[in-house]
Amino acid sequence: MTTKKTIKSAFESMMFVWGEPLDVKTAAEVFNMNWKDAYDYFLELKQEYEQEGRGIKIIEINKSFQFVTNEENFSYIERLCTPVKEKKLSQSALEVLAIISYKQPITKGEIDSIRGIKCDRVIEGLLKKDLIEEKGRSTAIGRPILYGTTDAFLKHFGFESLKDLPDIENIESAVSAEDPQDEVYAQQISIDFDM
């Protein structure tokens, strides 16, 4: 019988080698175990790393787990690594991303309607950055593509799930707001992307 310590050790190795978020069900299948037990082991590992204040920590993204560096060590890592050119998301990209994250699944036509302007290029850019993805087709005439956010979106913005999004009563008014204080979401999700 495989011990809990052995399984947790294997999960650490699997996360390290996998690189991307490791789905709990995938890890559980390796051991032929219940995914809920595997999930509990991942949570224990995550807590152990947090308690020890290590330079590597474990994050959860939609029932998947991944190693990341401790954000407190960012300046040291930045000094170590060769500088990379960074590009921030444009205001229009932030607006479209906010609309999609709160209204998903949503069609391009619905996004255009909320913004009052076409957003083809913005959607194309967000797709290339893997922040949004196609979630299927609408049942409306023409069966337009439905868009939603990705796990990469959650990871980049530090959310475990969509439930962690800041509360906004009316995304339409937040997106079209003239007053910068009303643009709560855009301020909270400003982020740099490596190019």
Summarised one tens digit per residue, pLDDT across range 31-43 is 999 999 999 999 9
CATH 3.90.15.10 at 4-74, yes or no: no
The answer to whether 31 and 24 have CB atoms below 8 angstroms apart is no
Amino acid, res. 115: R
pTM: 0.57
4-74 matches 86-194 in fold = yes
d(C-alpha 106, C-alpha 193), whole Å: 24
Give the DSSP letter of residue 110. Answer: H
What residues does each domain of the chain span?
A: 4-74, 86-194
> If pLDDT is split at 50, 70 and 90, which confidence band does 75 have?
confident
Q: Is the pLDDT of residue 103 over 60?
A: yes
Cα 47 to chain centroid distance, Å, stands at 20
Which of the residue ranges 103-107, 130-134, 142-146, 170-174 would you say has the lowest mean pLDDT?
A: 170-174
pLDDT at site 185: 44
pLDDT at site 84: 56
Instruction: State pLDDT tens for residues 137-149.
Output: 999 999 999 999 9
Q: Is the pLDDT of residue 195 over 80?
A: no
> What is the CATH T-level fold of the domain 86-194, as seen in this structure?
Arc Repressor Mutant, subunit A (1.10.10)
pLDDT at site 188: 45
Looking at residues 56-61, what average pLDDT do you find? 94
Exposed, middle or buried: residue 51 (CB in 10 Å: 0-12, 13-18, 19+)? exposed
Enter the tokens of residue 4: 């809990």
Residues 6+ apart with CB under 8 A from 81: none
> If pLDDT is split at 50, 70 and 90, which confidence band does 182 have?
very low
Amino acid, res. 95: E
